[in-house]
Chains A and B, each alone.
Chain A
Amino acid sequence: MDRTLKFNIFRYNPMAQGTAPRMETFVLPEIPSMTLFIALNQIREEQDPSLQFDFCCRAGICGACGMLINGRPGLACKTKTKDLPEEITLLPLPVFKLVGDLSVDTGSWFREMYARVGSWIHTDKQFDPLAEEERMDNALANEIYELERCVECGCCVAGCGTARMRKDFLGAVALNRIARFALDPRDQRTDRDYFEIIGDDNGIFGCMGLLGCEDVCPKELPLQDQLGFLRRKMGLTAIRRFLPGAK
C-alpha cells in the first residue's frame, strides 16, 4: 500500500460555453479496500464538486458505472485500485452520447434498442388471474435467467469494433436479448420474425467476431456462444428462404 494514486480524468461539460474537452489530474493517497467508487466520490467531495460520473447500486448489480478504465470498458464500482497501476486514466464510454465528464447517456441508447428488438414477450395469450401459472421446466428457467443477467452497462457495445464503425449496429447486448426471447417458449416469435430484426449487417451479420464484448462483460455472459448460435440459426433461416417451397 502507501501508494499515491494519480487519476487522469476526462473533463468536458457540454453545457459550459467556451470550454473544450481536456484531461485533468487528481492525486489521492490509496487506502485499503479502495475501489473507483470510493476514489471518485472522494475526489468530488474534497477536490472538485462539479465532477460528473454515474454510480447507483455501487455493488455491481445495476450497471450504471461503466467507463473506460485504463483504456478498457469496465464497471468502476467493482474495480479495486490495488489491481491498477499508480497512474489511472478514466474516460467516458465511447458510442454513447456524452452527458459530461465520465457520465454518458446509456438510457436513450437502450430504450431505442428495446424498440428495435421488441424486447418483451410476444404472445397472443391473455393473462387469466384465476388460472394456475403455466408450467416451465426449471432447467429452462435457469437457462433463460443465464441470458437475462445482463445489466445493460454498455461495456460490450463500447468494446465492439463494429459498433464503433456502424452507428446502427445492434451490439452483443441486443443479440443476447434476442437469444433470450428465442429460448423462451412464452415468446411466440419464429426464426423468421427474428431474421427480420437481426438478419442484416446491422445485426448478426455485422459482427466481426472480435469478441471484445465477451472479454469485457462484467457479468461474464456467454456472449460468444449466443452470437455463434444466432448466426447459425439466421444463416439457415436465410438459406431456407431461397429453397423451393419456402413461404
Chain B
Amino acid sequence: MQTFVTDLLCIGAGLAGERVAIEAAGAGFDVICLSIVPARRSHSSAAQGGMQAALGNSAMGEGDSPDVHFMDTVKGSDWGCDQEVARIFCDNAPIAMRQMAHWGVPWNRVVAGKSFYYKGGERYEKEEKAEKEGLITARAFGGTAKWRTCYTSDGTGHTVLYTMDNRAAQLGVAVHDKTEMISLIHDGGRCLGAVARCLKTGELRVYLAKATLIAAGGFGRIYRESTNAVICDGGAHAAVLDTGVVPLGNMEAVQFHPTGIVPTYILVTEGCRGDGGTLLDVNQERFMHVYEPDKAELASRDVVSRWMMHHIREGKGVQSPYGQHLWLDIRHLGEEHIRVKLREVDEICQNFLGVDPVHSLIPVKPVQHYSMGGVRTNKDGAAYGLAGLFSAGEAACWDMHGFNRLGGNSLAETVVAGGVIGVKVVDYLRGASAQYGTAVVADRVARDQERIRRLTEGADGSEDVYKVRAAMQDALQDGVHIFRNKEGLERAVATLQEVHARAKRIGLKSDGVGANPELALALKMPGLVRLALCVAHGALMRTESRGSHAREDFPERNDRDWLTRTLATWKSEGDDLPTLDYEPATRTFEIPPGERGYGGGKIIPMDSAPKPGKEN
C-alpha cells in the first residue's frame, strides 16, 4: 500500500480547498489535495451568478460597505449566524475579489454611461460614473441592499476556479485526482490524515498529514431532487461523522433554490431574477409582489421558495408529468442580454429543456441547493473535537450563513474563508510536529479493508446499494422539505432508521474489482443515512421556524429558546440517532435580533437583551 506524507492534506480541490492549499504552499509547506474528479470539475465550477463583496464601484452599489454587507448577511441568516465570522467575511471579501483579479479572473467591469436595467419586469435607467470605468462591477442578487455581486457573465465559478487552479499549479500544489477519502485517521484527540481509495485502480492509500482540511463541498445529493453535482454526495461528511467526536453543525438548515428547472433540477442562476426576471403562475401572472411588496422576486431564497410552494398549494401551479411547477420569465430582458450575460442559462434551457428562453417561459420549482450545515468549526476554521482537523467552504459550518445563505455569499465564502483559514492553517503547521502512532494507522486501514471484504463477499446481506440510496433520498424528499411538521419529520426519522439498518446489510452485486463504482457508494452508504438522520432529527427537535427551516406547527422564530446552533455527533456505531447538543448561535452581537424586513412571520423575542441598553 502506498503511503503519502505531507504537511497539509486537503480533502477536496474546489475553490475552498485550493485557496487554503495555496496559502500553505505559498508559505513553503507541502500540500496534497485529494479530489474525486479532475481539479477543475469541482462543483465550484457550476456557480454561475457571482460573488458578493462590497466594492461599491457600480452605480447601484454606491454607498455600499462591509457594514451594509454584514447587515444583509446577518439578516439573511435570520440571526442564526456567528456574527464574528460574518464580520470577518464581509471585511475581507473586497480584498479577495481584487486578489482574484490580480491572479487572472476576467471580472466584468464598469462601463461608464447610461444603460437600462430591469426590476420586477419594469425598465429603469442608471448611469455609471466615468471615474469608475474599468473597475470591477456588480449585479443585483436577492436579499441585498446594494448591487454587490461581482461576476464574469454567468460563468463566475468557472473562471474563478480555473484561475485558482492555475495559481495552485504554479505553486506546485499536488492534486491527486480521482481519489476518494473513505475514512479519517485519528486517535480520538488528533487527526493524523486519511485513508483514501484510488478511483483509477481501486487501491487503498494512506495519507499522513500534520493538518487535514475538509473542503469537500455540500451534501445535497442525499435529497432526491437537488441542483448539486453528482459528486456532492456527502461522503466526506459521513467520514467526519464516523469519527464519533467531531460534530456537524446545523444540519437541519438546508437551502432550497427557487429556480431549479423541471424535470432535471439543473439550476438557473438567481442572476435571472437579479437581472429582472419574474416568476409567473399558471395564469402567467406575477405573484411574488403580492406576498413581498417591497422585495418581490428578490427576497431571500428561503422566502421566495416558501411563497412559491405556498402559491402552488393555493392551486396556482402548472401541471406537468413531473408534478407541479411555476414559470420563470426572462423574455423581456431581450435576446442580446440573454445570449451574452445569461448564456449558461440560455444553453441549459436549449440543451436540457429544448426551450428557447428568449421566446418561452422556463419551468421551475424550488429544489435542494445548499447545505448551510457542515463540519462545525471555530472562527479559525478548526473543527471541534479533533486537533489538526480544519474545514472550509460549503463543507464547513464556519457559520456566516446561519439558517439561510444569500446568493453570491457561498462562492465568495470559498475564496474569503479559504484565505483567512489558510493563514490559520499555516500558523498551526508552523507549530505542529508530526506524530503518527503506527498502530492507529494500521488499525484504521485494517477496518477499511475488512469493510471492503464484507461488502464484496456479501457477508452482511444482499441489500442493493442503489435501492438503499433511493429509499434515503425519498425519505428526505417527502418528510424534510421546505415546509416541515412534527408528523412528517417523525415519519422521516423512523423511515431513515429502517434504511440505516438496511444500509448495514448491503452486499455488492458486482465483483468490486478496480475502480468499481458500486463499491465506492457502498462504502459510504451507512454514513450517508446517518447524515440524513442528522438533518431529519435536528429538524424534528428544532421547534421554531428560522430561515430555511420552516415548521408549520411552530411558525414563529423563537429567539428565546432557539437562538442556538445544533451540534450533531454520532457517538457510537450502534446508535440509530445522532446525539444533539446546542451552543449559542453567536457569542457577540453587533446587531441584536430583529425583523428581516421580508418574509413576514412572528418573532418570540429573547428574554433579555444581549447587551445592556439594547432592546429587541
In the bound complex, CA of A141 to CA of B111 (Å): 11
Once the chains bind, are B514 and A14 in contact (CB under 8 Å)?
Answer: yes
**A62 in the interface (beta carbon within 8 A):** yes
Question: Which A121-146 residues have C-beta < 8 A from chain B?
Answer: 121, 125, 127, 129, 131-138, 141-142, 144-145
In the bound complex, CA of A56 to CA of B177 (Å): 13
1/0 contact string of A184-203 vs chain B (CB within 8 Å): 10110000000000000000
- What is the minimal beta-carbon distance from B35 to any residue of chain A, in angstroms? 8
**B466 in the interface (beta carbon within 8 A):** yes
Question: Which A23-57 residues have C-beta < 8 A from chain B?
Answer: 32-33, 35, 44-45, 48-52, 54-57
1/0 contact string of B312-355 vs chain A (CB within 8 Å): 00000000010000000000000000001000100110011010
Q: Which residues of A contact B508 (CB under 8 A)?
A: 49
Once the chains bind, are B517 and A49 in contact (CB under 8 Å)?
Answer: yes
Once the chains bind, are B104 and A56 in contact (CB under 8 Å)?
Answer: no
1/0 contact string of B76-120 vs chain A (CB within 8 Å): 000000000000000000010111011110111111000000000
**B263 in the interface (beta carbon within 8 A):** yes
**A63 in the interface (beta carbon within 8 A):** yes
Once the chains bind, are B266 and A58 in contact (CB under 8 Å)?
Answer: yes
**B566 in the interface (beta carbon within 8 A):** no
- What is the minimal beta-carbon distance from A143 to any residue of chain B, in angstroms? 8
Once the chains bind, are B104 and A127 in contact (CB under 8 Å)?
Answer: no
Once the chains bind, are A119 and B166 in contact (CB under 8 Å)?
Answer: yes
Q: Which residues of A contact B294 (CB under 8 A)?
A: none
In the bound complex, CA of A63 to CA of B155 (Å): 14
Binds A, one of B60-68, B128-136, B403-411, B578-586: B128-136
Once the chains bind, are A61 and B344 in contact (CB under 8 Å)?
Answer: yes
Once the chains bind, are B518 and A136 in contact (CB under 8 Å)?
Answer: no
Which of B95, B135, B169, B201 sits near A15, CB closer than 8 Å? B201
Interface size class of A (residues with CB under 8 A): 35 or more
Binds B, one of A100-108, A155-163, A222-230, A234-242: A100-108
Q: Please, which residue of chain A has its CB at the minimum distance from the CB of B40?
A: A152
Once the chains bind, are B230 and A58 in contact (CB under 8 Å)?
Answer: yes
Q: Please, which residue of chain B has its CB at the minimum distance from the CB of A78?
A: B351
Q: Please, which residue of chain B has its CB at the minimum distance from the CB of A51?
A: B517
Which of B41, B106, B515 sits near A64, CB closer than 8 Å? B41
Question: Which B192-229 residues have C-beta < 8 A from chain A?
Answer: 199-202, 229
Q: A107-B39, A142-B108 are in contact. Are A114 and B514 (CB under 8 A)?
A: no
Once the chains bind, are A132 and B135 in contact (CB under 8 Å)?
Answer: yes
Q: A15-B513, A58-B229, A59-B266 are in contact. Are A107 and B178 (CB under 8 A)?
A: yes
Once the chains bind, are A148 and B230 in contact (CB under 8 Å)?
Answer: no
**B46 in the interface (beta carbon within 8 A):** yes
Once the chains bind, are B202 and A15 in contact (CB under 8 Å)?
Answer: yes
Question: Which B229-262 residues have C-beta < 8 A from chain A?
Answer: 229-231
Q: A45-B466, A107-B38 are in contact. Are A59 and B102 (CB under 8 A)?
A: no
- What is the minimal beta-carbon distance from A103 to any residue of chain B, in angstroms? 7
**B45 in the interface (beta carbon within 8 A):** yes
Q: Please, which residue of chain A has its CB at the minimum distance from the CB of B178?
A: A107
Once the chains bind, are A49 and B98 in contact (CB under 8 Å)?
Answer: no
- What is the minimal beta-carbon distance from A8 to any residue of chain B, in angstroms? 20
Q: Which residues of B contact A121 (CB under 8 A)?
A: 102-104, 166
Once the chains bind, are A49 and B37 in contact (CB under 8 Å)?
Answer: no
Q: Please, which residue of chain A has its CB at the minimum distance from the CB of B350?
A: A78
Q: A59-B352, A64-B41 are in contact. Are A133 and B101 (CB under 8 A)?
A: yes
**A149 in the interface (beta carbon within 8 A):** yes
- What is the minimal beta-carbon distance from B525 to any residue of chain A, in angstroms? 13
Q: Which residues of A contact B351 (CB under 8 A)?
A: 60, 78
- What is the minimal beta-carbon distance from B295 to any residue of chain A, in angstroms? 28
Q: Which residues of B contact A135 (CB under 8 A)?
A: 109, 133-135
In the bound complex, CA of A43 to CA of B42 (Å): 25
Which of A13, A14, A110, A145 sits near B155, CB closer than 8 Å? A145
**A111 in the interface (beta carbon within 8 A):** yes
- What is the minimal beta-carbon distance from B31 to any residue of chain A, in angstroms? 15
Q: Which residues of B contact A133 (CB under 8 A)?
A: 97-98, 101-102, 135-136
In the bound complex, CA of A13 to CA of B514 (Å): 7
In the bound complex, CA of A105 to CA of B514 (Å): 14
Once the chains bind, are A99 and B178 in contact (CB under 8 Å)?
Answer: yes
Q: A78-B351, A106-B38, A129-B99 are in contact. Are A48 and B510 (CB under 8 A)?
A: yes
Once the chains bind, are A57 and B134 in contact (CB under 8 Å)?
Answer: no
In the bound complex, CA of A108 to CA of B110 (Å): 38
**B543 in the interface (beta carbon within 8 A):** no
Q: Which residues of A contact B513 (CB under 8 A)?
A: 13, 15-16
**B511 in the interface (beta carbon within 8 A):** yes
Once the chains bind, are A141 and B231 in contact (CB under 8 Å)?
Answer: no
Which of B42, B104, B111 sits near A138, CB closer than 8 Å? B111
In the bound complex, CA of A69 to CA of B446 (Å): 42
In the bound complex, CA of A145 to CA of B155 (Å): 9
Once the chains bind, are A54 and B166 in contact (CB under 8 Å)?
Answer: no
Q: Please, which residue of chain B has its CB at the minimum distance from the CB of A75?
A: B351
Q: Please, which residue of chain A has its CB at the minimum distance from the CB of B36?
A: A56
Q: 19 additional contacts, CB 8 Å, given A58-B230, A99-B200?
A: A13-B515, A15-B202, A16-B511, A49-B518, A57-B45, A57-B230, A58-B264, A62-B37, A64-B37, A80-B354, A107-B38, A114-B169, A127-B102, A134-B102, A135-B133, A137-B134, A138-B109, A138-B137, A148-B162
20 contacts between A and B (CB under 8 A): A13-B513, A13-B515, A16-B514, A44-B466, A49-B508, A50-B511, A52-B516, A52-B517, A54-B37, A59-B352, A62-B37, A63-B40, A107-B37, A120-B103, A127-B99, A127-B103, A129-B98, A136-B134, A138-B111, A148-B158
On B, residues with C-beta under 8 Å from A are 37-43, 45-46, 95, 97-99, 101-104, 106-111, 133-137, 152-153, 155, 158-159, 162, 165-167, 169-170, 175, 177-178, 199-202, 229-231, 263-264, 266-267, 321, 340, 344, 347-348, 351-352, 354, 465-466, 508-511, 513-518
